[in-house]
Structure 1
Amino acid sequence: MTNSLKVLLIEDDMIEVMKFNRTVSKLQLNLSIIEAKNGEEALEVLEHKDRLPDVILLDLNMPKINGIEFLSILKNNDTLRYIPTVVLTTSSNQKDLLECYKIGIAGYVIKPLKYEDYVEKITRVLEYWSINELIKG
């Protein structure tokens, strides 16, 4: 892959951010990570139309604007609605899952408790979006 995959990680838990970055550093993928602590901060990042991410990884349980509210704003924006968004959450609530798919997510991944399982899931998600034809420039 010649292009760098630009990932916007929206996560308010710094331990989860550190775990994600630790996992990504082990991978042999060409990634560029942008971090936002909540939906409000993520919307500010997305105002820069010349630097939009290729994929968004979104936590649901966040302060200010939660994940579902963020998704609704994102999918109602003509420019941003096409950015693939994968929910990365601890919520196994069926209502959350159905609501997210109804709004228009690209995937729903439940964060496992075991670190090895987490690494496996993150690896699969990032490898998939690294080779996906939709995001190739």
Structure 2
Amino acid sequence: MEKQKTIYYLDDDLDDLGFFKEIAEELGHNVKVFTDGRKMLLVLEIQAEKPDVIFLDIHMPVLNGEEILNIIKKSDDVKHIPVVMVSGAYPKKLLQYCASMGISCLVKRHNFQEFKQNIQEVMRTLETVQ
């Protein structure tokens, strides 16, 4: 099993938030969920203890995942934190964008076991990179 991580997960879909949180906690991680990108950015700014990894949904109202990623990568306090982009689809453009930024992608799955395996794979990949 991977070392326990603190994960921030941003998504405007409450069902997806709950599904992800349940799986990640079953895998032994601590998860803080957000539905508002501005609020997550504020918590990142003021909290002394930073997350080990941030999962960002691509399609968000107000600030989308790509915009939030750009803000994070410009902040000296948090730019070192690995970011994983999350999407219900896996278009080629998204894969190319993530590869160009050196970040991982995670496809939302509504099958518990499949999504759990995808999260485990991403977390293992991050473990080997750090």
TM-score between the two structures when normalised by the length of structure 2: 0.84
Of the candidates 62, 67, 70, which is equivalent to residue 69 of structure 1? 67
1:110 maps to: 107
* C-alpha distance in 2 between matches for 1:92 and 1:110: 7
Alignment RMSD (CA, Å): 2.2
Structure 1 unmatched ranges of 5 or more: none
Q: Which amino acid aligns with 1:68?
A: E
Give CA-to-partner distance per residue, 1:70-126, whole Å, 9 cap, x none. 111111112221110011211312222222333x24301112343321121122333
Q: Secondary structure at the match of 1:42?
A: helix
> How many aligned positions are there?
129
Query: Contact (CA 8 Å) 1:38, 1:66: kept in 2 or not?
Result: no
Paired residues for 1:1-137 under 5 Å = 4-27=4-27, 29=28, 31-102=29-100, 104-129=101-126, 131-132=127-128, 134=130
Structure 2, unpaired ranges of 5+:
none
The alpha carbon displacement at 1:128 in A equals 4.7
